Chain A
């Protein structure tokens, strides 16, 4: 790998991250305005305006808080999201990080994200954030197995844990058709990892904002960017694993990947505004009693399908 390729790889990941984060914010604003019927601000400017508002907002801290954890958690979360996005192959000849165990590394990013989200709620030493943190951990520990089984399902026909091979294995038929349960389950996990919409157990309104109740200014901005980045990384991985990644007629590969990622982003954002948040206890039961068996079924289906 030449130095030029190295620089191009790094820059393209960062650029995709920035564009993706902006798109998430703009989509979310547009969907919210459409649902609520509120006029006010264009969806294109709103993300920048919100960011500028948070940029200038003063910061907050609680009496006895774990300040290093408070500051480090959003930085790590953003880092994990960027690392996840870097694993996505753009084209058969251009993969920023082409690891032979990319699928496993993505599987590791999810529990690590759970840890930093827990720290978000733990750090302020205040009742509502801490309730949110523990609630989130019950979610985070429940979807992990589902996510892993679903991703192992796509690794079966690819005979590899490399995302590039996963895309190449979908040359004839995309995994979304071959393993119909995979993508819906994966999207649920995506909402969980980026604590978005119905699975936003930590920053919930029934806790006055929960983990974010004591956050202000730059820290909130950083978390907002991190969550959007995680959603982008998730959609990109989802597009790679289930929608055939770069493959598609007429257009160049990276464009296809971008379009598929945006489509998944839009689905996630709409789901986020449309679905109510289930009770944390109820979701725990659903995750283990419904989603996990479904992911078993998906794996069995994928296994039989791969042998045929």
Chain B
């Protein structure tokens, strides 16, 4: 039963997670109070004029949207891979068609410069 397998996974995750938390909180570090001048972001002696949390201009946004569309298709790919050999040529043509259709999207995106930073 796979639940037992998942238990091992859970235990591994919990133990490493606990190790990480212990590492951060166990004693031995030099000091707890962090003074304000130390807390200023490091800019080689310069200063930030505003908070860094801003409406950041993510220059690759067309790519992210293309990725979301493409990733939907991965849902179908995995089950397809499992039955591929038993279905044979039919699976090859079907997925060839499907990937072909999506490749047109990638080609189009490339042609229109979607994979460059805006």
Contact = CB atoms under 8 A, between A and B. Distances in A.
Asked if A and B form a direct contact in the complex, defined as CB atoms under 8 angstroms apart, the reply is: yes
Interface of A: 1, 6, 9-10, 13-14, 17, 55-64, 71, 74-76, 78-79, 81-83, 85-86, 96-101, 103-104, 107, 122, 124-130, 134, 137-138, 141-142, 144-145, 148-149, 152, 155-157, 159-161, 208, 213-214, 217-219, 221-222, 226, 280-281, 284-285, 288-289, 292-293, 296, 299-300, 303-304, 306-307
Contacts of A126: 41-42, 48, 52
B84 A74 contact: no
B108 interface: no
Contacts of B31: 58-59
A13 B12 contact: yes
A134 B55 CA distance: 12
B115 A288 contact: yes
A99 B74 CA distance: 19
Contacts, number: 199
A78 B64 CA distance: 26
A63 B24 contact: no
Contacts of B53: 122, 125, 130
Given A56-B30, A130-B53, A281 B85 contact: no
B19 A78 contact: yes
* 3 closest Cβ pairs, A-B complex: A126-B41, A75-B20, A58-B30
B24 A71 contact: yes
A60 B38 contact: yes
B39 A152 contact: no
Contacts of B84: 156, 159, 303, 306
